[in-house]
């Protein structure tokens, strides 16, 4: 999967590898995606992740599907690092729960853009009918520019605040 990919992980190969690569490509601060070394070091660097020790090489094997059955502690640590439910990495979530996690990831990716953040923040507090008008105007611009009508994918936000993204 290409860095910055906005498509959900596919189930070809290892589902865990697909989900991890999706998170690596999308769940990072502005700039370059995390490296295996950085994530392994952060997780192994203290008690914040339950004392889990994770090597760069093992993380690489998880991401390329050569290892597919990490310990529950490793899965919990990775889920905590990327601020997603451990069930997402396990593939234990329902389809709607998985879509919700991936929608939050897409939202966080969009919010990296300062202009997008500015538009969203300026809409806060406006009456619902004005927000609906703004949505219509944006949809018209997207259509004029031959862009997909909904860049966020299926489902609309329910107004729930997203999880904080991890810090470098």
Token pair in block for residue 2: 């290409």
Q: What's the pLDDT score for residue 1?
A: 41
Domain residues for the domain of 31 are 15-93
Digit-coded pLDDT (tens) for 140-154:
999 999 998 877 543
Mean of pLDDT values over 130-139: 94
Q: Is residue 40 part of a domain?
A: yes
Whether 55 is covered by a domain: the verdict is yes
How many structural domains are present in the chain? 1
Q: What is the CATH number of the domain that holds 57?
A: 1.10.260.40
29 domain-assigned = yes
Q: What local confidence, expressed as pLDDT, does residue 152 receive?
A: 53
Is residue 107 a part of any domain in this protein? no
pLDDT confidence band for 113 (50 / 70 / 90): confident
Domain membership of residue 63 (yes or no) is yes
Specify the pLDDT at position 9. Answer: 60
What pLDDT was estimated at residue 22? 93
CA angle (56, 2, 61) in 5-degree steps: 25
């Amino acid at each position: 999967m290409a860095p910055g990919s906005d498509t959900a992980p596919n189930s070809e190969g290892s589902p865990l590898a697909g989900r991890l690569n999706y998170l690596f490509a999308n769940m990072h601060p502005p700039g370059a995606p995390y490296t295996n070394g950085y994530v392994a070091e952060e997780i192994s660097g203290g008690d914040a992740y339950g004392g889990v020790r994770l090597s760069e090489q093992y993380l690489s094997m998880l991401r390329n599907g050569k290892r597919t059955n990490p310990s529950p502690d490793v899965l919990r640590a990775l889920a905590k690092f990327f601020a997603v439910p451990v069930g997402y990495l396990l593939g234990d979530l329902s389809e709607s729960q998985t879509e919700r996690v991936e929608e939050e990831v897409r939202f966080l990716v969009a919010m990296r853009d300062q202009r997008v953040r500015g538009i969203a923040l300026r809409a806060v507090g406006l009456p619902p009918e004005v927000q609906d008008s703004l949505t219509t105007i944006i949809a018209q611009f997207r259509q004029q520019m031959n862009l997909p009508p909904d860049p966020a994918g299926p489902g609309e936000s329910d107004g729930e605040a997203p999880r904080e993204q991890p810090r470098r």
